[in-house]
Amino acid sequence: MLINGNFSKDATVGEDRGLSSIATSTRPQYAPLQDTFGRTFDYVRIAITEKCNLRCTYCMPEEGVDFKNGEQILTADEILRVIDVLARMGVKKVRFTGGEPLVRKDIVKLVEGAVNTPGVKSVHMTTNGIIFPKYAKALREAGLTGLNISLDTVDSQKFFDITRRPGEDKVIESIKLALDLGFPRVKVNNVLMKGFNDGEFFDFTEMTKDQAVTVRFIEFMPFDAEQIWETGEHFLSADAMIKMLKERYPNIELDSGTRTEHHVFRVPGYAGKIAIIPAFTRSLCGNCSRIRMTADGRIRNCLYSDSEYSLMDILRAGASDEEIVDLFRKAFKEKAKDGFEAKKLSAMRESTIEFKGRTSMTQIGG
Ligand code: SF4
């Protein structure tokens, strides 16, 4: 939304969908979503497709996975309705993920709808950046706040080895374009793997010298459709990454990040920041604030839990807002204290878990 030549979002939340006038008066507000450990969940990650235009080896095989599509995934109106209910349960932050969210044709409508939902403060997207230029301006005008652009290497051969497609130049271009268009938050997601791209660690930290980006180094996770995780060769821990940082930049300073970023640093005088994400070590569970929805409309109360709760079934059975609220409450009442316990419980419940077999991150949404 263009105000005085500058892009600004906050002032007009809710207006476009004509919701603001009924926002507070007729739309019941609900108690915040909490679990039995007293954590409050105000951040929803919504996978809007399982499809992707890349084939990353730490995510899915060349032939892909059994992608859900058409009737099997939530419509834009269903997603926006759920966002509206969640916003009335105190959810303030929405992230669209995938697969690759930009392969979904109604992505701008989804962003606009989320931005204009009363109570939503910021809308973000995680993208591989390959086709971002096609939507960049429209997403900025729609009010998208933050972009996490995935880039694990700047070496074209390595990029091809990991994604099975060319394109690192397009991704680098997209990072620059996002900064030029003035997106408030631009981040680079880098899955750092031993013996693969760890040699470029400092190429990526130096990206923060002149660019106001946050480079997020993410631990490798076991959602690769049984491809390379099992080798055990590539895992590099968050602690090892922090040690590398402090050895190279002895005067590095702690800095602030989002609730899901624990280890955030800034090299003195640098424009950007560096975050280390212990996604496998799971040392951030105590602060967990995340709700996950899969493209086929399932609630996941933890990345490592295979217990799922079908939103799609109740939505298509004509559920009321209260029934949607109740399903989220049920899902989070059963949330484990951390990702380790979630994994253990899933293994114990293996026989009773209805929706098995999400082996690839593209089926979960990260
Ligand atoms: S592993 Fe599960 S509990 Fe821990 S931060 Fe991730 S989603 Fe939350």
Residue 348 has pLDDT above 70, yes or no: yes
Q: Confidence band (pLDDT; 50, 70, 90) for 350? A: low
**C-alpha of residue 112 to centroid of ligand 1, in Å:** 28
Taking the centre of ligand 1 as the mean of its atom positions, its distance from the CA of residue 166, in whole angstroms, is: 32
- The whole-number pLDDT of residue 136 equals 98
Superfamily of domain 8-287: Aldolase class I (3.20.20.70)
Closest atom, ligand 1, to C-alpha of 336: 3
- Say how many Å lie between the first and final Cα of the chain, rounded: 29
The per-residue pLDDT of the chain, averaged, comes to: 90
Q: How far is the CA of 273 from the centre of ligand 1 (A)?
A: 23
Over residues 214-256, the pLDDT tens digits come to 999 999 998 877 667 777 788 999 999 999 999 999 999 999 8
Distance between CA atoms of residues 129 and 167, nearest Å: 9
Q: Which residues contact 203 (CB under 8 A, 6 or more apart)?
A: 154
Q: Which two tokens stand for residue 193?
A: 């793997």
Q: Band of the pLDDT at 66, cuts 50, 70, 90?
A: confident
Best substitution site from 289, 291, 303, 307 to test ligand 1's pocket, by max atoms within 8 Å of Cβ?
Answer: 303
Quickly tell me which residue has 């701008």 as its tokens.
108
Question: What digits encode the pLDDT tens for the residues 291-309?
Answer: 999 999 999 999 999 889 9
Cβ–ligand 1 distance for 302 under 6 Å, the answer yes
Mutating to test ligand 1, I would choose from 282, 289, 307, 332 the residue with most ligand atoms within 8 A of its C-beta, which is: 282
Does 364 contact ligand 1 (Cβ within 6 A)? no
d(CA 171, CA 154): 9
User: Scanning the structure block, which residue is given the tokens 């114990």?
Assistant: 348
Q: Is 213 in the pocket of ligand 1 (CB under 6 A)?
A: no
Residue ranges of domains in the chain = 8-287
Of the listed ranges 114-118, 226-230, 351-355, the one predicted with least confidence: 351-355
Evaluate: CB of 338 within 6 angstroms of ligand 1: yes
pLDDT the model gives residue 135 = 98
Ligand 1 contact, 94 CB (< 6 A)? no
Nearest Cα to Cα of residue 59 among 152, 186, 178: 152
Instruction: Provide mean pLDDT across the span 242-271.
Output: 90
Q: What is the mean pLDDT of residues 339-354?
A: 80
Is 284's C-beta closer than 6 angstroms to any atom of ligand 1?
A: yes
pLDDT at 3: 35
What span, in angstroms and rounded, lies between the C-alpha atoms of 323 and 279?
Answer: 32
Give the pLDDT of residue 349: 74
Higher pLDDT, 38 or 227: 38
Which residue has the least CA distance to atom 5 on ligand 1? 285
